[in-house]
Amino acid sequence: MNAKGTQVGELQLTSKQKSFASKMLHPFKFRMFTLTQVPLGFIAGMKLESLNGSRCATSLPFKFLNKNPFKSIYFAAQSMAAELSTASLGMLHLNEHLKSIAFIIVDMDAKFSKKAVGKVTFVCEDGHLVKEAIDRAYETGEAEEIKMLTIGKMADGTEVSRFHFTWSFKKRSKK
Helix axis angle, 15-25 to 27-37, nearest 10°: 80
What region does 11 belong to: left with phi over 0, alpha with psi -120 to 50, or beta? beta
What is the pLDDT at residue 116?
A: 97
The structure's pTM equals: 0.90
Each domain of the chain, given as residue ranges in start order, spans: 10-171
pLDDT surpasses 90 at 97? no
State the CATH architecture for 10-171: Roll (3.10)
- Give the range among 56-65, 96-105, 111-120 with minimum mean pLDDT: 96-105
Average pLDDT of the chain, as a whole number: 91
Q: What is the pLDDT of residues 9-34, one digit of tens each?
A: 457 888 999 999 999 999 999 999 99
